[in-house]
């Protein structure tokens, strides 16, 4: 892994009904849902790490410290900026900001871990043997 503190990137997402709070069970609240924004943050950070993976590696989210600061309607374009602010072994901390049309929607920190994918898959299967 050749990640370094200070590396940064931006991901852009077109929002649609799948991002709506209604989809997450909040009837009548037709704006971008907090869990949808969290997902966009996770994807943006993963995209920044992915070019540095070995063939058997993946990244998983392990901690979130995010504030949802403003609502946005479905259909806006969301840009997520992510910057690596710390690396401790196989754990990478990002400072993130999600915004639409200049309005900050969410900001905070996200921690991801670099993992051996097969080991992770086996471990999960052992914990939950009845799951598919």
Say if CB 106 and CB 63 are below 8 A apart.
no
Clarify whether 68 is annotated catalytic: yes
Clarify whether 42 is annotated catalytic: yes
Question: Residue 1: what pLDDT?
Answer: 57
Residues of the chain with pLDDT below 50 are none
Question: Residue 28: what pLDDT?
Answer: 93
Distance, CA of 124 to CA of 42 (rounded, Å): 20
Question: Residue 40: what pLDDT?
Answer: 98
Q: Which of 52, 57, 68, 69 is catalytic?
A: 68
Q: Which of 12, 14, 17, 42 is catalytic?
A: 42
Instruction: Supply the pTM of this predicted model.
Output: 0.93
Q: Which of 34, 57, 69, 83 is catalytic?
A: 34
And the tokens for 24?
């997450």
Clarify whether 12 is annotated catalytic: no
Query: In 3-state terms, what secondary structure has residue 113?
Result: strand
| Eight-class DSSP state of 79 | E
Question: Residue 132: what pLDDT?
Answer: 72
Question: Residue 120: what pLDDT?
Answer: 95
Question: Residue 56: what pLDDT?
Answer: 93
Query: In 3-state terms, what secondary structure has residue 110?
Result: strand
| Eight-class DSSP state of 27 | T
And the tokens for 79?
């840009």
């Amino acid at each position: 892994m050749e990640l370094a503190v200070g590396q940064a990137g931006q991901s852009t997402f077109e929002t649609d009904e799948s991002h709506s709070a209604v989809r997450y069970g909040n009837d009548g609240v037709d704006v971008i849902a907090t869990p949808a924004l969290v997902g966009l943050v996770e994807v943006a950070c993963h995209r920044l790490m992915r070019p540095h993976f070995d063939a058997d590696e993946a990244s998983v989210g392990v901690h979130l410290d995010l504030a949802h600061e403003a609502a946005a309607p479905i259909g806006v374009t969301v840009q997520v900026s992510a910057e690596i602010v710390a690396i401790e072994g196989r754990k990478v901390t990002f400072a993130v900001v999600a915004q639409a049309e200049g309005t900050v929607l969410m900001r905070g920190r996200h921690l991801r871990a670099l993992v051996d994918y097969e080991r992770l898959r086996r471990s999960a299967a052992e914990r939950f043997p009845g799951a598919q």
